[in-house]
Amino acid sequence: MMRTLRSVLRLRPIEFDATARRLSKAASVADLRRIARRRLPRGVFDYIDGGAEDEVSLGRNVAGFSRLEFRPRVLRDVGAVDTSTTLLGRHLAFPLVLAPTGFTRIADPQGELSVARAGARAGIPYALSTLSTRSIEEVRAVSDGRLWFQVYTWRDRGLVEEMVNRAAAAGYEAIVLTVDTAVLGRRERDVRRGFTLPPKIGPGTIVDGLVHPGWTWGFVRAEPIAFSNVTGKSVGDGTDAISLAQYVNDQFDPSLSWRDVEWLRSVWHGPIVLKGIQTVEDARLSVEHGVEAIALSNHGGRQLDGAPSMIELLPDVAAAVSGETEIILDGGVRRGSDIVKALSLGADAAMAGRAYLYGLGAGGEVGVDHVLGLLATDVRRVMALIGAGSVGELSPELVRRRDA
Ligand SMILES: Cc1cc2nc3c(=O)[nH]c(=O)nc-3n(C[C@H](O)[C@H](O)[C@H](O)COP(=O)(O)O)c2cc1C
């Protein structure tokens, strides 16, 4: 009896590091989301997790992937699966780009520095947001990986040009121009909670903070969160607790047009990625304007509600522009299988925002490493299971819509 008992009794070694203990239980992005939800104040979690209005666009981005099923091929010798590919002419360890997200330090004090370091370790690019809470130069100082810089063409074009020049000087490789933000979307979770960036301290926030002591301790010890790229500029540096909607809406320029893409070309001499393309017509116009890549994106469902699901739009866009510009599929990526589906349907890479923010909120920098590790191994495993030994072998025959 003792022998039998001994053969089945396996005590896990005790993990003394609290973060490692937490992360060891996170088998998926959904698990990391649950942990982040527990650790972060509710206002912070909702700012990251939420979308515009009824969150229909947000839900569709995710649901679009589950409506697809694989047509797995077998007996294809997948002894050596190669997940690497190229994007903008350079190597990617696996086909993912870390999306620009503003105010990243809200999830963890290291913020963008952690994401940049984790991206470099994973061998994938990171697009730093205009609204980042670590500056262009601070992020470059900690990473020798691939960095892109995302711009909103604010009313103050001089400021945009200055940021673009700083990105060039710091060796950023591409500019991502976000074009789905003529005005700011209405994120009703933030409205309901009265959530502002930087967070304002009121009775509600104090209670929220007290019940999330880990986050609060990190937050009060770190230097104040600010819009690091614009600190000291006349537009305001964001250290005052004014509402996000007000600050950003004041800077967004609703007169933005294709002429501004040409203007950007005149001040930036590297690749341009247009982020926020949501129709075949605009994908074609992007090609006519000579942009190197487009990101099919509805801003993760945070801008227009009732936008198309990006993965469902992808086949038509790929048919219209494939080979003329590179296509990045953005929105709803929660698993490696989502990335594989996107590539099968014609994307050159996928892009993800919330996935890594959940990791950051759940466990800081090692949380981002954890999520990128999960996604990379997912991609490799799924490719093996559908019979694709390399990214070049991913094709539309491997996927179909369940209702088609
Ligand atoms: C908290 C948060 C902040 C964001 N901030 C920006 C931003 O500053 N600039 C931008 O172009 N997109 C921003 N986005 C959109 C992301 O770049 C990306 O399009 C989106 O997260 C993709 O959807 P996913 O979260 O389902 O992956 C943000 C998204 C989130 C979740």
What are the pLDDT digits (tens) for 259-272?
Answer: 999 999 999 999 99
Residue 264's identity, in one-letter code, is L
Give the list of residues 6+ apart from residue 365 with CB closer than 8 angstroms, or none. Answer: 108, 110, 114, 117, 118
The pLDDT value recorded for residue 8 is 77
372 CB within 6 A, ligand 1: no
The pLDDT value recorded for residue 370 is 98
332 CB within 6 A, ligand 1: yes
Question: Does pLDDT of 362 surpass 90?
Answer: yes
The pLDDT value recorded for residue 62 is 97
- pLDDT (average), residues 166-180: 98
Range with the poorest average pLDDT among 135-139, 141-145, 241-245, 259-263: 241-245
Q: pLDDT tens digits, residue range 342-357?
A: 999 999 999 999 999 9
d(CA 157, CA 153): 7
User: For this structure, is 299 an active site residue?
Assistant: yes
Distance 17 CA to ligand 1 centre (A): 31
Distance 302 CA to ligand 1 centre (A): 8
Closest atom, ligand 1, to C-alpha of 333: 27
Q: pLDDT tens digits, residue range 92-123?
A: 999 999 999 999 999 999 999 999 999 999 99
313 CB within 6 A, ligand 1: no
β-bridge partners, 126: 98, 147
131 CB within 6 A, ligand 1: yes
Higher per-residue confidence, 313 vs 232: 313
Give the list of residues 6+ apart from residue 213 with CB closer than 8 angstroms, or none. Answer: none
Distance 80 CA to ligand 1 centre (A): 34
Distance 397 CA to ligand 1 centre (A): 30
386 CB within 6 A, ligand 1: no
The pLDDT value recorded for residue 201 is 67
Range with the poorest average pLDDT among 125-134, 241-250, 380-389: 241-250
150 CB within 6 A, ligand 1: yes
Q: Residue 177: phi, psi to the nearest 5?
A: -100, 115
- Percentage of residues of the chain with pLDDT beyond 90: 76
Range with the poorest average pLDDT among 12-21, 34-43, 203-212, 287-296: 203-212
pLDDT band at 145 (very low <50, low <70, confident <90, very high): very high
The pLDDT value recorded for residue 202 is 72
Range with the poorest average pLDDT among 51-55, 156-160, 345-349, 379-383: 156-160
The pLDDT value recorded for residue 218 is 87
Higher per-residue confidence, 213 vs 394: 394
Give the list of residues 6+ apart from residue 299 with CB closer than 8 angstroms, or none. Answer: 178, 180, 181, 185, 276, 331
The pLDDT value recorded for residue 216 is 86
- The per-residue pLDDT of the chain, averaged, comes to 92
Distance 48 CA to ligand 1 centre (A): 9
Which residue's alpha carbon is nearest to atom 20 within ligand 1? 300
Of 285, 163, 170, nearest to 233 by C-alpha is 163
The pLDDT value recorded for residue 132 is 93
Beta strands 68-70 and 399-401, pairing class: antiparallel
Question: Does pLDDT of 241 surpass 50?
Answer: no
Query: Would you give the distance in Å from CA 168 to the centre of its chain?
Result: 22
Question: Does pLDDT of 172 surpass 50?
Answer: yes
The pLDDT value recorded for residue 234 is 45
- pLDDT (average), residues 55-73: 98
pLDDT band at 2 (very low <50, low <70, confident <90, very high): confident
Distance 101 CA to ligand 1 centre (A): 5
Query: Would you give the distance in Å from CA 351 to the centre of its chain?
Result: 6
Query: Would you give the distance in Å from CA 279 to the centre of its chain?
Result: 21
Task: Give the length of the chain.
Answer: 404
Range with the poorest average pLDDT among 3-12, 65-74, 351-360, 375-384: 3-12
d(CA 36, CA 333): 17
61 CB within 6 A, ligand 1: yes
Ligand 1 pocket mutation, candidates 150, 184, 302, criterion most atoms within 8 A of CB: 302
On whether the pTM is more than 0.75, the answer is yes
Which residue's alpha carbon is nearest to atom 8 within ligand 1? 102
The pLDDT value recorded for residue 279 is 98
What the block records as the tokens of 376 is: 């990379």
Catalytic choice (91, 269, 289, 299): 299
